[in-house]
Amino acid sequence: MVCHMDRMAVASDASVATEPTRKTLPVDKDKVLAAVLAALTPLLHQLPGDRFETVGRFRVEDIVADAVTHQRPITFVIPAFPFKSPNVREKTLGVLPDRGEALALARLDALCAAIAPLYVHGARAVIFSDGRIFNDIIGVSLDVMDAYATALEDLAREKGLVHLAFDRLEAYTTSKDPNTELLARYGCDQLDMATLLKDDSELLATYRSFRRFLAKDMALAWASLSKSAVDKAAGVAAKCMIQRNMAFSALVDDCYPHAIRLSIHAYDNAGPKFSVALIPQLEGAIPTTPWHCVMCQDRDGSLRSRKHQDVDTNRYTLETKYGRPWQYVEKA
């Protein structure tokens, strides 16, 4: 399968590797690795029992060493930035990117910018949108999802975030139902979910996380259902999301086999996936993402994440930018 992506202000692997004057410059592999670890480690979402220092960093070391040997850019790939949670009452400001996404994009770009000066072939972060994986489950239309994706790329371009690139599922499927096509391609439509959830503790944790998010994201749509009906619907939807996500994960691995794999889900960071905090975190084990919350800026300029329903409007006032709600700012 040939994998490709829409690049935005970032050089392709081929164009970087074919510049003879740059190609022959010596590379200090140890310095490049140190730069990668120094830039990546502060971004990690680490919980008790984290295994990055004992296991995960050596996986990263192998990937970096391979990239240097083969004169490839250091590549990070993160399946994320699907669309805003439709629950604007409790979670978000609207359907388009806001200060949270701006901060998350800047962090990913800064990760690569810290590495690029020490490595002639540079670094890039590929944002592989996973919105198509579950937009129909959440009830988000393709038009709304596409508007979010377009605004996200516009934001990155306007901010001059040149180390970012964007990719999406539709680039690798041909049918009108890309999820069914992908499930069949990777055999995920035949999975025994009950057995998998019983045997895989990390998968079970992801399933439970999906159930919690679904119950919140669908709170308005499921308002007329009983608690038991909501639990049942969330469970069925979460299993569907798990299956689709497994197929999508396999696709990402196929398309970016040499990348450092970042994730917005909680892992012990032993690899191959490394959990990152894209914005200031709420308390708890589940990483907070900008499409599930709002940003509040204090008078001293510091930022904090809040669920929309938890914002103290006596303390903060809503600020708009680009003609849409952007963040809450502490009153003078």
What is the per-residue pLDDT across 64-116, written as a single tens digit (0 to 9) for each?
999 999 999 999 999 999 999 999 999 999 999 999 999 999 999 999 999 99
pLDDT at 5: 47
Beta strands in the chain (DSSP E): 74-80, 123-129, 164-168, 260-263, 273-275, 294-297, 303-306, 316-321, 324-330
**Can you state the angle between helices 131-138 and 227-255, rounded to 10 degrees?**
170
**Can you state the angle between helices 131-138 and 201-217, rounded to 10 degrees?**
50
Query: What digits encode the pLDDT tens for the residues 125-170?
Result: 999 999 999 999 999 999 999 999 999 999 999 999 999 999 999 9
- Average pLDDT estimate for 190-203: 90
Distance between CA atoms of residues 97 and 94, nearest Å: 8
CATH topology of domain 29-171+259-291: Rossmann fold (3.40.50)
pLDDT at 322: 96
Lookup result for tokens 């310095």 = 31
By DSSP bridging, strand 273-275 and strand 294-297 are unpaired
Query: What digits encode the pLDDT tens for the residues 278-305?
Result: 999 987 767 899 999 999 999 999 999 9
DSSP for residue 116 = G
Mean pLDDT of the chain: 91
Nearest to 273 by CA among 263, 283, 287, 259: 263
pLDDT at 221: 85
pLDDT at 209: 86
Lookup result for tokens 């502060």 = 42
Amino acid at 258: H
Amino acid at 239: K
pLDDT at 285: 64
Lookup result for tokens 């990390």 = 202
In total, the chain counts a number of residues equal to 332
Lookup result for tokens 């903060």 = 316
Distance between CA atoms of residues 288 and 305, nearest Å: 8
Query: What digits encode the pLDDT tens for the residues 11-54?
Result: 333 333 333 344 456 789 999 999 999 999 999 999 999 999 99
Query: What digits encode the pLDDT tens for the residues 269-283?
Result: 999 999 999 999 987
Query: Cβ(207)–Cβ(236) under 8 Å?
Result: no
Task: Tell me the two tokens of residue 188.
Answer: 């995920």
Describe the strand order of the beta sheet including 303-306 as a list of residue ranges: 303-306, 294-297, 324-330, 316-321
**Does residue 318 surpass a pLDDT of 90?**
yes
Give me the percent of the chain exceeding a pLDDT of 70: 92
Q: From residue 34, how far is each of 37, 38, 78, 119, 302 by CA, in Å?
A: 5, 6, 21, 11, 29
State CA 252 to chain mean position distance: 12
Nearest to 61 by CA among 20, 16, 81, 31: 31
Going from N- to C-terminal start, the domains of the chain cover 29-171+259-291, 188-251
User: What is the band of 313 on the pLDDT scale with cuts at 50, 70, 90?
Assistant: very high
Distance between CA atoms of residues 47 and 45, nearest Å: 7
**Does residue 2 surpass a pLDDT of 60?**
no
Q: From residue 105, how far is each of 98, 109, 261 by CA, in Å?
A: 11, 6, 16
**Does residue 311 surpass a pLDDT of 90?**
yes
